[in-house]
Chain A
Amino acid sequence: MLFIALFLLIFLIIPVVKVIFVAFQDVTTGQFTLVNFKDFFSTALFRESFWNSLYVGVMAVLIASALSMPLAYFTSRFEFRGAVIVQSLGVIPLIMPPFVGAVAMMMLFGRNGSVNLLLEQWFGINIPFMEGLNGVIFVESLHYFPFILINLSAALQNIDKSMEESAQNLGCSGFRLFRRIVLPLSMPGYVAGVSLVFLKVFDDLGTPLLLNVNNMLAPQAYLRIASIGIKDPMGYVISVILVVIAMSSMWLAMLSLKGKDYATVQKGGGGLAKRRMRPWEKIVAWFIIVLIMVLVLAPHLGLTLLSFGNIWSFSILPDAFTFDHFIAIFSETPEYITNTFLYSFLAGVIDVVLGTAIAYFVLRTKLIGRKLLDYVAMSAVAIPGLVIGIGYLRTFFAFRVPWLEDQPLATWWIAIVIALSIRRLPYALRACTAALQQVSVSLEESAENLGAGKFSTIRKIVVPLMAGGILAGFVTSFATAAVELGMTLMLVSKNADGPLSYGIYVYMQSAAGRGPGAALGIAAVVVVGLCTLISHVVVDRRQKKYGMRQTN
């Protein structure tokens, strides 16, 4: 426990505190000062960036809501075959981070992209989907709307039929019923989804950078540090603002959820009363679903075209198709792929080991400070990757690794691994905690009763029974670490150390590199998708095999 606490202190708390500290420090004298913040808000570019980031966050939430609400409504209200499609719709965008598809979306929806070329041919109009901030909003909302969809559907599914029926019994129906019963009961789920989307969009660095939108907060922080150096206070000021906004959006969500655990499902199944759709309703529903489906798959489609395309410029489709880009990424820069496997694997292992240990401390021991440990580990979820990256640079640059010719720790690849593991720890920790909660305490007590000591019990009973959850945690950590960009961008000191996400970013910078970049993107999607699928199958099979009984 002490070791974990130390690990979190050194690699999470100190770097973040350092960032905050520097933001309030006078550059030359080191005195406490607010002058950096004054500078920030008196610079027009920064003010503009600040408002742009807020604007993009809010707009993305609105569009994401508009996308998810009809889908959630269809699946929870009607007996409807499309429900399965809607469910898979929910996962598809998540297996690819937004920045990967950003350039592909430019090719499809940009001013000279396929869609606008078609529109111009047919109607003579040009819609600025991707102009400036629009592009960021468009790409982000398409990628993150599943968070709202999943949370909202879950909330709707948790409303018991009896809630609705008793309202009807008391004379309430139609829209009033929706407004007074269904809406309030599903609100917590919706709010949780919204806060997550806002947070993700607000912190995202890769998408605006690749769409060449620099007047937002995250890109500004990156550009300041990258161009002026780690001494420039503006990067830190922006980091503090990012953290504060992220924390407060989570806090607001928590506040609005407080005391509203509306799990109203009674024994014997729940969910709202469902009915069959009328034919015309079916047509409308399918139309909306297909439209959203096309939008959701657009980045993947674009990426695929880009990766196999020869030259693609001012045309609806690429001129010719080739495997060259795939050959290029495996022959010229295989290190991107091998690095990714190495880093993500190590980060995943660190995460499940820490996650299992913390979950055990919290749920099974009475050690002092175990709750705090849990909170600290979870707090990483609200810290943007960019901020952790900056914090590591600042904190560990002075620390030389003796056996590596005194190279700074911050630029050693191990730093990337640790940063990735810290950043993804919350996901693994949640998975491990959930897994341990599923293991009845009496299963451990009976082992102890039959003569097994604490350690033996953990090894033979607890860990095997948690294995499914641990695997799920590992895969989540592994898959999301593979495509993390904000932090990697700060910490990669030479191209040879870069993982996939870094490679995609580097390639996508130039027009010539888009093909190989897209090929790398496809590789990332395949890796992440396969991992998710495999873990799903394995966990499912295990649960079937052991039966679902022992969960009390």
Chain B
Amino acid sequence: MTNTAYKDGNSSDSSVTLEGIDLSFGKTHVLKGIDLKIESGEFFSFLGPSGCGKTTLIRLIAGFESAQAGQVFIGKHEISHLPPWQRNVGMVFQSYALWPHMTVRKNVAFGLEERRMPRNEINKRVDAAIDLVDLIDLADRRPSQLSGGQQQRVALARTVVIEPQVLLLDEPLSNLDAKLRVQMRRELRQLQQKLSLTTIFVTHDQEEANTTADRIAVINDGIIQQVGSPMDLYDQPANHFVADFLGTTNFIDGKLEESGNTIQFHADNGEVIPMDDTLDSSYRDRCSLVIRPQNVTITTGTEIEAADKIRLKGTISGKEFLGSTIRYRVNVQNDILLADAAHHQGQIPLKNGTTVNLYIERNQVIIVGV
């Protein structure tokens, strides 16, 4: 697709910058001082629980909400003052919002007609866009005659046909069934790379965000908790919320104390765990150890002492069979720790009540504030 007249000279830079965004609905403080830069061509995801403000944030970028403070930039241009129809920011709505009184073709042509483009140019582009999402055969149907997945594609075609500088996707997969969702998110990703569009994708589903996004901003309670690549967020969560929201996690609450040259973690359950002295010692007060279940090794044999491992003793109190793994619930003092063991065919799982040793590599433990 070619560059067009309605983009300005700086269209090559389609990064999105949010500066000091503050927004309230009446007494509800929805967004609290959001600062963020999304790079040109990046596939970026807003991830968070419902009500965290992520949808409000992309509606703000699209111009449907206005902030009490802060600015939105595309490239170097501030767009905060522009009404939605002058922003050239394409949004795919959660409900798709296809107009039921128009055919697929009409729906897709709408944005170009609003731009007063010549008829033959519109036809050419609409055909290209419909072809892009593989719907040529259905172009003259009405939305009500299409399946959910097809409606989704129409919504996409309708948005990308105007060649927006930024593509916003508001939970675009949430109305599809599980299998289609996996397929569509792959297609979305391919389409985004093909068009190299700056894309912001709102979701509450971590798997969706992990599999599609270059970078993710985890949002909770109107605040950006952490920004990073999916693996960074999983392996190096910045705080309790991020560690908890992404994946299954064991938390052991307690506090760090120095004794001589070594640092010890005094868990609330009474366990004292010597820590690496290379650890970030800024957590002087309450903190939690974050341990992923797959990083806990479970054994029944004799105890081994190894300097690079933490050892805990416990009793098995329950288990869940997850297919490739068995997730054991292990009582350690007053805490319950989850430990994953790979499952191989024919293997007999450990019985409840078995006393076990748990080993955790020191460098696989993360400390976060409470």
Contact = CB atoms under 8 A, between A and B. Distances in A.
Contacts of A550: 95, 97-98, 100, 143-144
A442 B97 contact: yes
Contact of B114 (A442, A445, A456): A456
B142 interface: yes
Interface in B296-355: none
A267 interface: no
Interface string A456-472: 10001100110000000
A457 to B, nearest CB: 8
A547 B63 CA distance: 30
Contacts of B85: 448-453
A538 to B, nearest CB: 14
Given A445-B64, A446-B91, A550-B98, A452 B142 contact: no
B144 A453 contact: no
A174 B234 CA distance: 62
Interface string A181-214: 0000000000000000000000000000000000
Nearest to B86: A451
Nearest to B114: A451
A448 B91 CA distance: 10
Interface string B85-125: 11111110111011111000000001100110000000000
Contacts of B100: 465, 546-547, 549-550
B142 A445 contact: no
**Residue from B83, B111, B145 whose CB has the most chain A CB atoms within 10 Å:** B111
A137 B86 CA distance: 63
Contacts of B142: 545-547
B49 interface: no
A37 B285 CA distance: 81
Contacts of A453: 83, 85
B149 to A, nearest CB: 14
Interface in A523-552: 545-547, 549-550, 552
A147 B98 CA distance: 38
**Residue from A443, A450, A451, A550 whose CB has the most chain B CB atoms within 10 Å:** A450
Interface in B252-296: none
B158 interface: yes
**Residue from B63, B94, B95, B98 whose CB has the most chain A CB atoms within 10 Å:** B95
B84 interface: yes
Contacts of A301: none
B144 A452 contact: no
Given A443-B99, A545-B142, A550-B143, A450 B89 contact: no
A552 B64 CA distance: 18
B143 A450 contact: no
Nearest to A464: B101
A452 B113 CA distance: 9
A250 B115 CA distance: 51
Contacts of B115: 451
Contacts of A450: 85, 90, 110-111, 114, 158-159, 162
Interface string B60-90: 0011100000000000000000011111111
A465 B95 contact: no
B162 A442 contact: no
Contacts of A443: 97-99
Given A465-B100, A546-B144, A547-B144, A552 B93 contact: no
Bin chain A's interface residue count. Answer: 20 to 34
Contact of B93 (A446, A451, A549): A446
A440 interface: yes
B95 A440 contact: yes
B83 A547 contact: no
B4 to A, nearest CB: 12
A442 B84 contact: no
Nearest to A548: B144
Nearest to B94: A442
A311 interface: no
A546 B62 CA distance: 27
B84 A448 contact: yes
A451 B112 CA distance: 8
A460 B88 CA distance: 19
A547 B115 CA distance: 29
A442 B89 contact: no
B101 A546 contact: yes
Contacts of A440: 95, 97
A451 B111 CA distance: 6
Interface in A421-457: 440, 442-443, 445-453, 456
Nearest to A447: B110
A443 B95 CA distance: 9
Contacts of B86: 451
B93 A442 contact: yes
Given A442-B93, A445-B64, A445-B84, A549 B99 contact: no
Contacts of A549: 100, 143-144
B83 A452 contact: no
B136 to A, nearest CB: 21
Contacts of B158: 446, 450
A452 B89 CA distance: 13
A453 B88 CA distance: 13
B8 to A, nearest CB: 15
Interface in A120-136: none
A112 to B, nearest CB: 59
21 contacts: A440-B95, A442-B97, A443-B97, A443-B98, A445-B64, A445-B91, A448-B64, A449-B91, A450-B85, A450-B90, A450-B110, A450-B159, A450-B162, A452-B85, A452-B114, A453-B83, A464-B101, A547-B143, A547-B145, A550-B95, A550-B97
Interface of B: 62-64, 83-91, 93-95, 97-101, 110-111, 114-115, 142-145, 155, 158-159, 162
Given A451-B85, A549-B143, 4 more contacts: A440-B97, A446-B99, A448-B85, A550-B100
